[in-house]
Structure 1
């Protein structure tokens, strides 16, 4: 079968390969963000600071782990040649959306914490800590930056899965009590 020939799933094998690679990329990035954050701790004369001291960073670690696991499983499922079905299309669509928002939330909340670590906030008595724990802040910033790249990957996957769902399957039809079919939205 050539690269542009259609396989049994209704798409080209090149498209299936591209989608599989796009599903593997966030897995690798999530593992990178997870490892950077897990190894993020620093001690000095002022004390010690670790990712586990801040709930936002713990959430980022958990979200990255979940996204990496899903990316692996979805890459395997996307790589397998199979006929398209409505339930698989909906599953990919919903899970891609869910994980895109979950990793976006992790990145957003960690961005706020990193900002406060760099700048502080006098009104809530949060002093800046990056002058004392610079290594910690640099690693946290790197992990958050990787997380936003993952968010872009999941946005792309969400577009692909929504296109596959809504271009291949018709809108659901509901039947009223008068026997007239109305498109349910």
Structure 2
């Protein structure tokens, strides 16, 4: 009886089911952010509302705020880049772009919903609830897309051997583990 043992730095063979599961996961994690960033941009771009406050007409559109404009276009650019990315670094760039858009929009959204009366401004979400709800949904979708891209980044980093060192080895786990051992 001959036992087959794997050397410490030899890659572990992958079963067909494991390979298909990994490939399916990668494809889903690449397609879902495309749909989510496009949805976030479209929800933001369609957010508008008209109301009267004390007889004064009040209009709300995403174009009235530079932060909302940036958020919408950052999501569109992220969607376009997600269609193109195959590079690990590009995923990081897209995630950074999305987080800056989310941060700017969250700041303006917070001001619109919870402004301090001592400043002299009043919250607008009491009067423009539909608009504020659409902005909140758009931000939530964008954060979900960011989370998917973060998971994809971790998986890609592991596949490229950038992170996650093996506990039993001082060499990285991944495609380059065998090459670096020499």
The TM-score, its normalising length taken from structure 1, stands at 0.72
Rounded Cα–Cα distance in structure 2 between residues aligned with 1:158 and 1:134: 36
Rounded Cα–Cα distance in structure 1 between residues aligned with 2:65 and 2:125: 14
| CA offsets 1:11-69 (integer angstroms, 9 cap, x no match) | 92432221011110011111111111110011122321100111111111111111111
Pair 97,120 (structure 1): closer, same or farther in 2 beyond 3 Å? same
11-20 or 107-116, larger mean C-alpha shift? 11-20
| CA offsets 1:102-136 (integer angstroms, 9 cap, x no match) | 11121122112111111113455442101111111
Among 97, 118, 125, the alignment partner of 1:102 is 97
Instruction: Report the structure number with the largest CA radius of gyration.
Output: 2
Residue in 2 that maps onto 1:151: 146
Rounded Cα–Cα distance in structure 1 between residues aligned with 2:84 and 2:43: 23
Among 20, 23, 28, the alignment partner of 2:30 is 23
Paired residue secondary structure (1:135): helix
Rounded Cα–Cα distance in structure 1 between residues aligned with 2:88 and 2:110: 33
Rounded Cα–Cα distance in structure 2 between residues aligned with 1:132 and 1:14: 48
Residue in 1 that maps onto 2:50: 43
Q: Does 1:168 align with 2:181?
A: no
Deviation above 4 Å: which 4+ runs of structure 1?
none
Q: Does 1:136 align with 2:158?
A: no
Residue in 1 that maps onto 2:79: 68
Rounded Cα–Cα distance in structure 2 between residues aligned with 1:118 and 1:28: 28
Over aligned residues, Cα RMSD in angstroms?
2.3
Paired residue secondary structure (1:43): strand
The TM-score, its normalising length taken from structure 2, stands at 0.73
Which blocks of at least 5 consecutive residues in structure 1 are unaligned?
Answer: 78-91, 174-185
Rounded Cα–Cα distance in structure 1 between residues aligned with 2:64 and 2:176: 47
Paired residues of 1:29 and 1:150 also in contact (CA < 8 A): yes
Paired residues of 1:96 and 1:161 also in contact (CA < 8 A): no
Residue in 1 that maps onto 2:3: none
